[in-house]
Chain A
């Protein structure tokens, strides 16, 4: 997603302009190599903001940029590096949550094999299976979006 300034409401434009200014100032203070300070590309940040389900606000953008800059210098885990990103990044990067598609298959299979249970219990377990499936689908969608953002970020960081 690329931010189209023409389609932004005035308040968003103000946020965008302010974030751009902050970003440029930060870039300048970090003395990035030539070529990197030609102009900020906010498309990855905007995409991330969309993925993480938040409104476009200056603190989010600046913090995201802080994280990108931190990653650029190998300091992603520095203190203050964007607590709210932790969970979505975790969803994409570690642990059994990565295996959402396999889990989804198991849950669907289990839900379809409840024939031996008494009908009231069967209904209850089917409802649970559906709620868990919906959760897994949602996690899976978010995970894929986060992976896409990380891919874009890595591409950007490699320059």
Chain B
């Protein structure tokens, strides 16, 4: 469904400006300033660009902020745009574990533990060891 308001057109921002804002927001994320990063990426997500990145990062930010309901919500939104994104699948599993939904998290972690991405596979294996 088309948005009721075309916020991008209203702002007059191009992809370059969006990218600059995204990079700045990511710097705050990297520096551990998750609340500031959240403001950046909530705004970017509201602009409804095609990029799944903002939703992916919001999932990670909300995990850091211990808001697991929102972490799960944004992980699912991100996965609706890019289903196989492994870090987001791992974030989804983490949020499910925090929400005491082990029955959904463990099968997902078992799949991720076999991933070709060894770092991610190790994280999944560690979570399985801790929670199974």
Residues of A within 8 A of B (CB): 52-55, 84, 86-88, 90-91, 95-97, 99, 103, 106-107, 110, 114, 117, 121, 124-125, 127-129, 131-132, 134-136, 138-139, 142
Contacts and interface: CB of A to CB of B under 8 A. Distances in A.
Contact of B5 (A54, A86, A129, A131): A129
Given A53-B27, A96-B11, A103-B11, A134 B42 contact: yes
Interface in B16-61: 16-17, 20-21, 23-24, 27-28, 31, 33, 36, 39-40, 42-48
A41 to B, nearest CB: 25
A84 B23 CA distance: 9
Contacts, number: 89
B5 A125 contact: yes
Interface residues of B, number: 29
B40 to A, nearest CB: 6
B7 A91 contact: no
Determine the main DSSP class of A at the interface with B: helix
Given A54-B31, A87-B24, A138-B36, A132 B17 contact: no
B10 interface: yes
Given A103-B11, A132-B43, 19 more contacts: A52-B27, A53-B33, A54-B31, A95-B14, A95-B16, A96-B11, A99-B12, A107-B10, A110-B10, A125-B3, A125-B4, A128-B3, A129-B46, A131-B45, A134-B43, A135-B44, A138-B36, A138-B43, A142-B24
29 contacts: A84-B27, A87-B27, A88-B24, A91-B20, A91-B21, A91-B24, A95-B16, A95-B20, A96-B11, A96-B12, A103-B11, A103-B12, A107-B7, A107-B10, A110-B7, A110-B10, A117-B4, A121-B4, A124-B4, A125-B5, A128-B7, A128-B48, A131-B43, A134-B42, A135-B39, A135-B40, A135-B46, A138-B36, A138-B39
Contacts of A128: 3, 5, 7, 46, 48
A55 B46 CA distance: 30
Contacts of A91: 20-21, 24
A106 B10 contact: yes
Contact of B13 (A97, A125, A142): A97
A136 B3 CA distance: 20
B16 A132 contact: no
B32 to A, nearest CB: 9
Given A131-B46, A132-B43, A138-B40, A114 B5 contact: yes
Nearest to A117: B4
A52 B44 CA distance: 19
